[in-house]
């Protein structure tokens, strides 16, 4: 029933965005369940992720609002400050919807990496995603690329994410050569390599040789990450303190940046852990109603600026 509700809202979004001529595609969730996994009921998903053309970000938002979606993130001052590449909405049936302008959400990570959302959208392909719903999805190479980046930046700590990657590499049209070229062009090669090694170690993914991390110190960083995995087997049980994945989430284009990022993310995860133990949970301010028109204008100006930056 949950899948049917998500697909209902996806069908509404697809019709509205297509009628307006806005480039878009569906990410993760229903796209992976229907087109990547052996059977759709093997892959659970909770929300709906849509990537819209950043050059028409404001149009995409207004179109979805007119189609019956509601805006959850309404604190435009906080949104402008964070420069997040997504907005949270709710679909007509209650589906949690993330409207993305880039597959890398955090502004700091977007400064490190250079994934071009417009190029990704230009390569999308139409596919059936269940219940007669047609949608555009990332091409097979971009699908794997996105999954590697998404899993890595979030710590690569979910078995389902690793299985996503395993099954996605088995799609018709996937090319290791093309993946190598796209990860190098976007400076995500070190991150992708680290995550691929975890998928290899946990699920037996066959990675063709040569697939090296290259770059000064890159191989050393990957060896550090994989040696830690060898000492602390993955996956662990819920609550395992080693599941934070800071070495993955901190991986950056170079080993030096990765070392700093790993230390930073480890400190952050420990801080959140202490707050959780004390039941002092952070409350998101993004859904507070702060309708600042100037902040809203500057937020979308930032989206356009990011879209035009090579």
CA–CA gap between residue 228 and residue 6 (Å, rounded): 38
Are 254 and 229 within 8 A, CB to CB? no
Q: Which helix (H) or strand (E) holds 203?
A: helix 189-203
Are 25 and 135 within 8 A, CB to CB? yes
Are 218 and 192 within 8 A, CB to CB? no
Dihedral sign for Cα atoms in the order 24, 26, 28, 34 = negative
pLDDT of amino acid 272: 55
CA–CA gap between residue 134 and residue 308 (Å, rounded): 29
pLDDT of amino acid 241: 65
3-class DSSP string for 137-163: ECCHHHHHHHHHHHHHHCCCCCHHHHH
Are 23 and 52 within 8 A, CB to CB? yes
pLDDT of amino acid 243: 65
CA–CA gap between residue 210 and residue 207 (Å, rounded): 8
Domains of the chain (ranges, CATH numbers):
1-138+286-310 (3.30.460), 141-278 (no CATH)
pLDDT of amino acid 144: 98
pLDDT of amino acid 236: 73
pLDDT in tens, the chain (310 residues): 888 899 999 999 999 999 999 999 999 999 999 999 999 889 988 899 999 999 999 999 999 999 999 999 999 999 999 999 999 999 999 999 999 999 999 999 999 999 999 999 999 999 999 888 999 999 999 999 999 999 999 999 899 999 999 999 999 999 999 999 999 999 999 999 999 999 999 999 999 987 876 665 678 888 888 888 888 877 777 777 666 688 888 898 887 788 887 677 666 666 655 555 555 445 578 989 999 999 999 999 999 998 876 5
CA–CA gap between residue 259 and residue 278 (Å, rounded): 29
């Amino acid at each position: 029933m949950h899948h049917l509700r998500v697909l209902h809202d996806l069908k509404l979004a697809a019709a509205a965005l297509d009628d307006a001529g806005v480039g878009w595609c569906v990410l993760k969730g229903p796209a992976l369940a229907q087109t990547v996994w052996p059977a759709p009921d093997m892959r659970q998903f909770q929300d709906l992720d849509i990537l819209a053309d950043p050059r028409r970000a404001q149009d995409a938002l207004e179109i979805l609002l007119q189609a019956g979606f509601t805006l959850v993130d309404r604190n435009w001052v906080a949104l402008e400050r964070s420069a997040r590449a997504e907005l949270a909405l709710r679909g007509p049936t209650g589906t949690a919807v993330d409207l993305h302008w880039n597959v890398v959400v955090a502004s700091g990570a977007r400064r490190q990496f250079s994934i071009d959302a417009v190029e990704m959208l230009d390569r999308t392909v139409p596919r059936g995603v269940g219940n007669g719903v047609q949608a555009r999805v990332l091409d097979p190479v971009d699908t794997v690329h996105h999954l590697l980046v998404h899993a890595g930046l979030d710590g690569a700590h979910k078995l389902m994410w690793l299985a996503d990657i395993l099954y996605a590499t088995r799609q018709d049209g996937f090319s290791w050569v093309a993946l190598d070229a796209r990860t190098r062009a976007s400076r995500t090669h070190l991150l992708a390599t680290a995550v691929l090694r975890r998928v290899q170690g946990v699920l037996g993914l066959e990675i063709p040789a040569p697939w090296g991390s290259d770059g000064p110190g890159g191989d050393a960083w990957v060896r550090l990450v994989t040696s830690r995995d060898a000492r602390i087997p993955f996956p662990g049980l819920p609550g395992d303190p080693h599941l934070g994945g800071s070495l993955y989430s901190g991986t950056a284009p170079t080993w030096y940046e990765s070392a700093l990022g790993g230390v930073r993310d480890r400190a952050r995860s420990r801080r959140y852990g202490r707050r959780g133990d004390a039941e002092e949970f952070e409350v998101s301010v993004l859904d507070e109603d702060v309708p600042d028109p100037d902040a809203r204008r500057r937020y979308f100006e930032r989206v356009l600026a990011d879209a035009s930056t090579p």
